[in-house]
Amino acid sequence: MRERHTLNFLLPRLPFNHRYVGWLHVKRSTSDVKLELLSLSRTRCRQFLARLDYSRTRKAAITTQCIWRGKVARKELRKLKLAARETGALQAAKNKLEKQVEELTWRLQLEKRMRADLEESKSQENAKLQAALQEVQQQYKETKDTLVKEREAAKKVAEIAPVIKEVPVIDTELMNKLRDENDKLKTLVSSLEKKIDDTEKKYDETNKISEERLKKAMDAESKIDDLNMAMLRLQEKISNMATDEKVQRQALLSTPVRSMSEHLSIPIVPKNLENGYHEAEEPKEPQSAPPALKDYGNGDPKLRKSSAEKQQENVDALIDCVAKNLGYCEGKPVAAFTIYKCLLHWKSFEAEKTSVFDRLIQLIGSAIENEEDNDNLAYWLSNTSSLLFLLQRSLKAAGAPGTVSRKKPPQPTSLFGRMAQGLRSASFANMHVEATDVVRQVEAKYPALLFKQQLTAYVEKIYGIIRDNIKKELSSLISLCIQAPRTMKASMLRISGRSSGQTQSNHWQKIIENLDILLKLLQDNHVPPVLAQKIFTQIFSYINVQLFNSLLLRRECCSFSNGEYVKAGLAELELWCAKATSEYAASSWDEIRHIRQAVGFLVIFQKFRISYDEIVHDLCPILSVQQLYRICTQYWDDKYNTQSVSSDVLSNMRVLMTEDSNNAESSSFLLDDNSSIPFSVEDITNAIQEKDFSDVKPAEELLENPAFQFLQD
């Protein structure tokens, strides 16, 4: 019975009717049942332990995740707080600057109104003085007339007086009256003469003032005329650019297919032989594409189509080859030389309609789309400038003086004459073989001239992109150079002087590294030294403008320690210019003369002993009075606590500033950054020589193509 009860306990889910039936069918011993119970208890125990372990690990994982998320959230909160502080400070600085700009504009308007009122009052005073002068002159004339009349009357009375001596009483009374009247008239005349003298003096003074104002008005009119002329030039340039754009658009939109007879209408040119006879030269290939088959116009359409396809294939091969980085040969870009040789051989410059130039312009435009890759930009600057040089030396407009054919001199009849002429011609050929092999003057049609204009625009564009990229990289470093002395004061309390000095010079070192990278980039890509000089001069001018303007605008930068720090950085720039040589640096060091003179003034001891003439003529000859006054008033010695210049020097500066207040150019003390293109096509052509291209080899990839065998000649 016990065994049955145990089995009933083990099988609680079976229906009631089948429990004992299961007991009848399953005949097991009590030992087996015990073993099963024991295994069941073990599995339950293992299950409990596993679940306990799982719950513990899960709890630990959740806690670690919560701790990590809290840590990350706190970091993000710190970053957000710092960003909020920085944005708040920037916003406050922006608001201050906006207020200053508003105040300055308000003051400017007030000064303009005051000047206008002064000019109106002066003109009114002049009119009043002139009217008073005219009145005085009229009174003077009237008094003169009355005096003359009275003198004549007195003479008549004097003549009549002896006759009337018989009545003595009446004569004495008349004489007394006349004397009184004469005295009064004399006093009147003297007073009128004094008034006339005074009015003449006033008239002279007013004349001087009016002459000075006339001079100023004439100067202002001349300046206005100059400005109008400059505006007209700018408008002409803009109109020329607009017409060029219209022409380019029309050339791109309206490109009708020219009939093949136009391509083949080439006149037969007589060819001079050595014996003096002429031989008719066969018609040449079309001038708008690579050389094709002879009798092209008289052939069937299939031949025309195949030759056109060959021409298109040759152009495609050139474009595919030039799109790659072909490198340099003898310091000159291979791609530019290859393009020039192909265009010269295909006579594309003499063609009236061709698509080669559009393909090349599209290639250059797509190649410089990535404006952040300075290496690629320098490569294309070298290629475009070299190709522009070759085009400038080769292309001549139709009817230009350089394209007139020269006649041969008459052949000498004697044997010695022919020998001498042969020797001269051989030496002349040896002297000029290099230049004639590379560059050949051609009468250029409109597409070639348009291509040269577009190429010039791309040279200027690539130059501007490289210059602006370097300016962007240097702007943050320059601001750090200005802020370094202030930020280093806090760090000096925590770190040693040696490490702080290293961090101070670190910003200038980064500027030098950027300049080294740019110099190496231009040298590796063989950019013409003229363009490299212009880039470095404009970059140094940008450094000068940024440092000098920040020195004048921020009083905390106009200190003795900041002057020492900037002077040390400028010394490093001077060393860099000496290492870069004049071929690339040129006049770059002269571009930072404003900041050099300002810093030199900041670090001078005993400024109160320096006179105004010494400052203007010896220390800072290039700085204006407004700039000097700004530096002198903002200067503070945070190192030795010395004084600035004396009050006499400042008063002299104020007097000169008030005298120059009428001049708008002299009133501004900040420098402007020059972002114009500082070179022309003539500068590039004068800097490069034709003989430099004599040993340049074209692209090896095209030399293997049988259609480009002319490149091996």
Same structural domain, 148 and 210: no
Same structural domain, 209 and 157: no
Same structural domain, 217 and 76: no
Tell me what pLDDT residue 198 has.
83
For the chain, the farthest-separated pair of C-alpha atoms sits apart, in whole angstroms, at 203
Highest mean pLDDT among 83-97, 424-438, 626-640: 626-640
Neighbouring residues of 537: CB distance < 8 A, sequence distance ≥ 6: 586, 587, 588, 591, 678
Whether 257 is covered by a domain: the verdict is no
Same structural domain, 534 and 670: yes
Q: How many CB atoms lie within 10 A of CB 435?
A: 15
Q: Is it the case that residue 677 has pLDDT exceeding 60?
A: yes
Alpha-carbon gap, residue 552 to 562, rounded angstroms: 13
Helices and strands (H, E) in the chain, number of each type: 21, 6
343 burial type by CB count under 10 A (0-12 exposed, 13-18 middle, 19+ buried): buried
Whether 712 is covered by a domain: the verdict is no
Domain count, the chain: 3
For 199, the token pair is: 């009015």
24 burial type by CB count under 10 A (0-12 exposed, 13-18 middle, 19+ buried): exposed
Provide the β-strand partners of residue 559.
636
Domain termination residue (choose one: 122, 138, 162): 162
Same structural domain, 505 and 563: yes
663 burial type by CB count under 10 A (0-12 exposed, 13-18 middle, 19+ buried): exposed
Same structural domain, 148 and 74: yes
For 627, the token pair is: 């700039």
Whether 551 is covered by a domain: the verdict is yes
Whether 311 is covered by a domain: the verdict is no
Q: Which of 410, 408, 414 is nearest to 428 (CA)?
A: 408
Whether 279 is covered by a domain: the verdict is no
Q: Is it the case that residue 416 has pLDDT exceeding 60?
A: no
Range of the domain at 183: 167-248
Same structural domain, 173 and 127: no
Domain termination residue (choose one: 248, 263, 293): 248
Whether 581 is covered by a domain: the verdict is yes
Whether 514 is covered by a domain: the verdict is yes
Q: How many CB atoms lie within 10 A of CB 453?
A: 13
Tell me what pLDDT residue 397 has.
72
pLDDT class of 97 with cuts at 50, 70, 90? confident
Q: Is it the case that residue 191 has pLDDT exceeding 60?
A: yes
Q: Could you report the per-residue pLDDT of 575-594, keeping only the tens digit for each?
A: 999 998 888 887 899 999 99
Same structural domain, 171 and 139: no
Whether 56 is covered by a domain: the verdict is yes
Q: How many CB atoms lie within 10 A of CB 498?
A: 7
Same structural domain, 174 and 156: no
How much is the average pLDDT of 593-597?
94
Highest mean pLDDT among 6-15, 35-44, 579-588: 35-44
Q: Could you report the per-residue pLDDT of 523-535, keeping only the tens digit for each?
A: 999 999 999 999 9
How much is the average pLDDT of 495-517?
71
pLDDT class of 231 with cuts at 50, 70, 90? confident
Same structural domain, 520 and 663: yes
Same structural domain, 219 and 75: no
pLDDT class of 9 with cuts at 50, 70, 90? very low
SS (H, E, C) 12-62: CCCCHHHHHHHHHHCCCCHHHHHHHHHHHHHHHHHHHHHHHHHHHHHHHHH
Same structural domain, 550 and 608: yes
Alpha-carbon gap, residue 422 to 667, rounded angstroms: 72
pTM over 0.75: no
Tell me what pLDDT residue 154 has.
77
Q: What are the DSSP calls for 281-346, one per residue? A: PPP---SSSS---SSTTTS-HHHHHHHHHHHHHHHHHHHHHHTS---EETTEEHHHHHHHHHHHHH
Tell me what pLDDT residue 382 has.
96
SS3 content of the chain, % helix, strand, coil (to 5): 75, 5, 20
Tell me what pLDDT residue 247 has.
65
Q: Could you report the per-residue pLDDT of 424-470, keeping only the tens digit for each?
A: 444 434 444 444 467 889 998 999 999 999 999 999 999 999 999 99
Q: Could you report the per-residue pLDDT of 251-262, keeping only the tens digit for each?
A: 665 543 333 333
Tell me what pLDDT residue 520 has.
95
Q: Is it the case that residue 555 has pLDDT exceeding 80?
A: yes
